[in-house]
A and B are shown apart, each in its own frame.
Chain A
Amino acid sequence: MRLTAIPERCSGCTACRLACALANYGRVNPALAALTIRGRFPAPGTYEIALCDQCGACAEACPVDAIAEEDGVYRVDEDACIACFECVEACPHGVMFAHPTLDAPIKCTLCEACVEICPRDALALVDA
C-alpha cells in the first residue's frame, strides 16, 4: 500500500499534519509531520499536498544503511542513524525533515493517522 493525495479535495486545514505528529511522536507539534500542505494563494487558489510514496530514495542516500524497507515501508533505524540528514536532502518530494529536538530525520511510517483524520477524504491508501 502507499499514500496518495487528492489535492482538489483539500481545504488546507492541516489536521493531517498534527495527527501525524501525535501518532508518531506523541507531541502537539505539527513541525514533526511527514507531509506538507501548501496553499497557493492569492492565485490560483489551490492546495498542493506533498507526501511520502515510499520510493526509497532516502534509503539509497543513507551512507550507513539506517533506512530499510519492510513490508513496503521504509523506516529509519534511529540507533543506526548518524544524523547526517543526507536523506532529507535526497527526498524527491521534500517530505523528510530534521527538527532540533530529534536525533534522526522525520519520515512517514505509513501509520495512516493522516488518512483517518482528513475530514475531506483528500488522502487515501492505495495499492502500491
Chain B
Amino acid sequence: MLNGYAGTVLRIELTGGRVEKQPLPEKLAEEFIGGRGFVAKMLFDELPQGADPLGPENLFVMASGPLSGHFLPASGKTHFGCKSPASGGYGDSNMGGHFGPAFKYAGYDMLVLTGRAPVPSLLVIEDDRVEIRPAAGYWGMGSITAEAKLKKELGEDFQILTIGPAGENGVVFACITHDFGRQAGRVGIGAVLGSKNIKAIAVKGTGDIPASDVQGLFEEGKKAYTAVRAKPGFTGWTPEGTAGITDWINRVGAFPTRNFGTSYWEKHPDINGAAILRELKITDKGCYCCPTPCGKYGLAKTGLGDVYVEGPEFETIALLGSNCMLGDIAEVGYANYVADELGVDTISAGVVCSWAIECYEKGILDDAAMGREVRFGDLASVVYLLEQIAHRSGIGDLLAQGVRAASQQTGRGSESFAIQVKGLEWSGYECRNAPGMMLAYMTSDIGAHHARAWVLGHDLAGTAANVHELIASSGGGEKLPKSAPQGRAQYVVDSQHTRPLFDLLGICRLQYMELGFEPEHYERLFEKATGRRMSWTELLGVSERVWQLTRSISAREIPGFGRAFDYPPERFMTEPIPDGPNEGHCVTREEVDILLDEYYAIRGWDENGIPTAETLTRFGLADVAGSMDGWACHSGGAAS
C-alpha cells in the first residue's frame, strides 16, 4: 500500500471496451510524485511517437496527486495530459472542483484512456464498478446542460466532467468542464476526450485514502487552515478572487487589450473584481477543501439574455473582456457562459476572436469569409464567432485550428498578430516591458501559458511579493522605464519549478502564490500523508526533473522543434506599445535571444533549446537521453 495515494491505475482501452486495473507503481510515485509528473511519465513511456493528437493512438491521461483529497487547504486539483492538438507536443491542463478527490475516493490515482469508443459514450465510475455507456441523448449537448442532466440521471453525489460541442468537433482549444464552471481549459484536452468519443466521465467514490499518519495529518491540516486564515489575503484577496488583480495589471501596463494591440484600458473598472461583486455575484464557489474560494458564481444580465455563470475569473476578463474590448462585466460574463457551454477555453477563444476581428478590420478576412461584420466591443460578434468555432461552421472551421494554423493559412501579415507560442494562445498578461514574464511564456512547456511561471512582480515592481501584497500596494500607474533582458532567466526557472510543483502534489497553488502561505506546511503535510520525508527543495528537484521530461516529449514529437518554437509573436518584437505605462516599449529579437541564451544555459540545454544527454542523465532521465537520436526535432522543421 502506498500511503497518500489511492493505489490503483485505471486503464480503459476504448476501442474494445477493455477495463484494466493495475497497482500504482511505487517507483512512479517515488520519482514523479503525482499529477503532472504521472501524466508526463505516462506520455513519455506509452505515447506512440508521431501519434495523431486526435487519433485513437493518443493517450488521454488524468491523475491526481498524493495530497489530493486529503484534509488540507485546497486539495481538489486534478491533472490531465495528452499530446496536444494545439501544439503537437506535450500538453497538460488542470482543474479544481471536486472531481479528483472523488476519483481518489473511488480508489484510483490515474486514468489512462486509449483507442476510441465505437459510439459516443459516457464513462460511469462508482467505486469498483466501471461502465462504458452509450451517450445517446447527450452528444451535441452543451457542457453545462449535459452535467445538469447527468446529475439528475445518476444522482447529485456524482462528480462529473463533460465536453461541449467544441470537444466533439475537434476544436484544438476545446476544454473540459466540471462543477458548472471549473475547467481544464488548455491544450485542447477537451478535443482529445471528444476524439475518443467520450462525452462525459462521472465518478462517485465512497472509500478511504490511506495516510501514513492520519491523526497527524488531521492536526497538521487544522494548523494549515488556521495559518491560511491568519493571512491578510484571506479577507483581502478572497472576496474578489483572481479578478482582484485586474486593476494592478492595468496600472503596470500589462492588460491585454485589442488583440494585444496595447496593454492598458481605461475601462478596466467596469470589468474588474469589484464589478463582479456589484453586478453579478450570487455566491462564492469553492473547490474541494478550499478556504479561499476564488470562484464567483452569478447571474449575468445582458441584452442577449440572462445567464448563470461561474466567473469571469481574471484570465477571462483579460481575453474575452479587454482583449475583445467587451467593457461591461455582464457582457464578459455572458461570453464566458457561452464559451463554457460550447466547451472552448476562454483564454484561447478570446485570443482567436480578437485575432479574427483584427483581420476583419484590416480587410484580411472580408464579409464573405467572416459571414457577417465583426467588431471589437460587440458582444454579438464574439458570441457569433464562438458558435461558429464550436460547430466549425463557416469561418469557424479556420478559427477552430487556433491562431497559429489559422494565420498560416490566411497569410497577408496576419501571422505577426497571431498571439501564441508553440500553437497555444497567450494568456492574460502583456509582456512587452516584462522580459521575465515574456521568457516565461516563451518557454512554458505547453505554449503561452502563465501557470508555469508568473513573475510580473519581479519584472514590473521589482519584488517577489505575493499577489495580495501587489494588489494592496499603491505601485504602478506611472510611466515605467524600459526593462533590460539580462538577469531574468533564474527567477523564471525558479518559478517554473515552484508553480508546477503544486500540479505534482495535486493541490492548488493559490494559497501560496496569492496569500503567501508558507511552503513548510506542505513538507509536513506530504510527510504525514505519504510517510516520505522530503524538503521543499527536494520536492522542487522533482519538479525540475518533470520540466526536463516535458521539454523532451515536445522535442521527440514536433518536427524541427527547438529555439524557433520559443519566440514570441512578431508584434511583441516589432510594435512598441502605443499607450499606457509601458508606452514605446517592446522586446527586440536581439533581447529575446539574450533571454533564451541565459535560460538555456541555466537549464542545461544546447543552443537550440534541446536538453543535452548529460542534463537528462543528471536528472535521472537516462532512458530519455537514450532515446534522443530518434526525436523529431532532428528532422525537417515545421513552422513554429
- What is the interface of chain A, defined by CB distance below 8 A to chain B? 8, 10-15, 18-19, 22-23, 26-31, 38-39, 41-47, 99-100, 116-117, 119-120
Contact A11 B284 (CB under 8 A): yes
CB within 8 Å for A45 and B283 given contacts A28-B70, A116-B222, A117-B225:
yes
Q: Does B207 lie within 8 Å of A45, measured CB to CB?
A: no
- Please report the C-alpha to C-alpha distance between residue A30 and residue B291 in the assembled complex, in whole angstroms: 17
Instruction: List 28 A-B pairs, Cβ < 8 Å.
Output: A8-B283, A11-B283, A13-B286, A13-B291, A14-B98, A15-B225, A15-B290, A18-B289, A23-B218, A26-B218, A28-B70, A28-B71, A29-B206, A29-B207, A31-B206, A39-B179, A39-B285, A41-B179, A44-B282, A45-B283, A45-B298, A45-B308, A46-B282, A47-B283, A99-B206, A119-B225, A119-B290, A119-B291
Given contacts A22-B71, A29-B105, A38-B156, contact A43 B291 (CB under 8 A): no
The residue in A14, A19, A43, A45 that gathers the most chain B C-beta atoms within 10 A of its C-beta is: A45
Contact between B283 and A26, CB atoms less than 8 A apart = no
Instruction: Quote the shortest CB–CB distance from A20 to chain B (angstroms).
Output: 11
Given A15-B289, A39-B180, A119-B291: 19 more A-B contacts, CB < 8 Å: A11-B284, A12-B285, A14-B289, A15-B225, A22-B71, A26-B218, A28-B70, A28-B208, A29-B206, A29-B207, A38-B156, A41-B308, A42-B148, A45-B282, A100-B206, A116-B222, A117-B222, A119-B225, A119-B228
Complex contact A28–B288 (CB within 8 A)? no
Chain A residues whose CB sits within 8 angstroms of the CB of B295 once the complex forms:
11
A46: chain B residues within 8 A (beta carbon):
282-283
* B572, CB-defined interface residue at 8 Å: no
Chain A residues lying within 8 Å of B98, measured Cβ to Cβ, are: 14
User: Which residue of chain A is the closest to B297 with respect to CB atoms?
Assistant: A45
Q: Which residues B241-300 have CB closer than 8 A to chain A?
A: 282-293, 295, 297-299
Supposing A11-B293, A13-B289 touch, asked if A28 and B214 sit within 8 A by C-beta, the answer is yes
Minimal beta-carbon separation of A6 from chain B (angstroms): 12
The residue that A42 contacts in the complex, of B69, B207, B308, with Cβ under 8 A, is B308
For the A-B complex, the count of residue pairs with Cβ-Cβ distances under 8 Å equals 98
**Is B144 an interface residue when CB atoms closer than 8 A count as contact?**
yes
Q: How far, in whole Å, are A39 and B105 apart by their CA atoms in the complex? A: 20
Residues of A within 8 A of B122 (CB): none
Give the interface residue-count category, chain B: 35 or more
Contact residue among A42, A117, A119, A120 (Cβ-Cβ distance under 8 Å from B180): A42
Contact B286 A26 (CB under 8 A): no
CB-CB nearest in chain B for A18:
B71
Kindly state whether residue B353 has any CB partner on chain A within 8 Å: no
| A42-B148, A44-B282 as given contacts; A13 in contact with B179, CB under 8 Å | no
Interface assignment of B587: CB less than 8 Å from any CB of chain A: no
CA distance A109 to B287 in the complex (A): 26
The interface residues of chain B lying within 8 Å CB-to-CB of A47 are: 283
Instruction: Determine the residue in chain B with the shortest Cβ distance to A7.
Output: B283
- Cα of A31 to Cα of B289 in the assembled complex, Å: 15
Binding site for A on B (CB under 8 A): 69-71, 98, 105, 144, 148, 156, 179-181, 205-211, 214-215, 217-218, 222, 225, 228-229, 282-293, 295, 297-299, 308
Q: Do the beta carbons of A26 and B144 come within 8 Å of each other?
A: no
Q: Chain A interface secondary structure, helix, strand, loop or mixed?
A: loop
B208 contacts A29, C-beta separation under 8 Å: yes
Cβ A30 vs Cβ B292 within 8 A: no
Shortest distance in angstroms between B130's beta carbon and chain A's nearest beta carbon? 18
Asked if B71 and A119 sit within 8 Å, CB to CB, the answer is no
Q: Which residue of A lies closest to B74 (CB)?
A: A13
Task: Give the CA-CA distance A12 to B156 in the complex, in Å.
Answer: 13
Write the nearest CB–CB distance from B33 to chain A, whole angstroms: 18
Residues from chain A with Cβ under 8 Å of B71 in the complex: 15, 18-19, 22, 28
A11-B286, A41-B179, A119-B229 known; A28 vs B291 contact (CB < 8 Å) = no
- How far apart are the CA atoms of A31 and B203 in the complex, in Å? 14
Give Cα distance in the complex from A11 to B229, angstroms: 15
Q: From residue B548, how far is it (CB to closest CB) to chain A in Å?
A: 33
Complex: how many Å from CA A11 to CA B225?
15
Q: How far is the CA of A23 from the CA of B219 in the complex (A)?
A: 10
List B contacts of A13 (CB < 8 A). 286-291, 293
Q: Establish whether residues B286 and A12, one from each chain, have CB atoms under 8 Å apart when the complex forms.
A: yes
Chain A residues with CB under 8 A of B225:
15, 117, 119
Q: What residue in chain B is nearest A17 (Cβ atoms)?
A: B289
B288 and A41: CB pair below 8 A?
Answer: no
Chain B residues with Cβ below 8 Å from A45 are 282-283, 285, 297-299, 308
Cβ–Cβ < 8 Å partners of A8 in chain B: 283
The answer to whether B214 touches A22 (Cβ under 8 A) is yes
CB distance from A19 to the nearest CB of B (A): 7
Query: What 8 A-B pairs are tightest by C-beta distance, nearest first?
Result: A119-B291, A11-B286, A13-B286, A31-B206, A41-B180, A11-B293, A11-B284, A45-B282
Bound Cα distance from A44 to B229, whole angstroms: 29
Q: Is the CB–CB distance between A28 and B289 below 8 Å?
A: no
Q: Chain A residues with Cβ under 8 A from B285's Cβ?
A: 11-12, 39, 45
| Docked CA distance A48–B206 (Å) | 21
Distance (Å) between the CB of B495 and the closest chain A CB?
Answer: 27
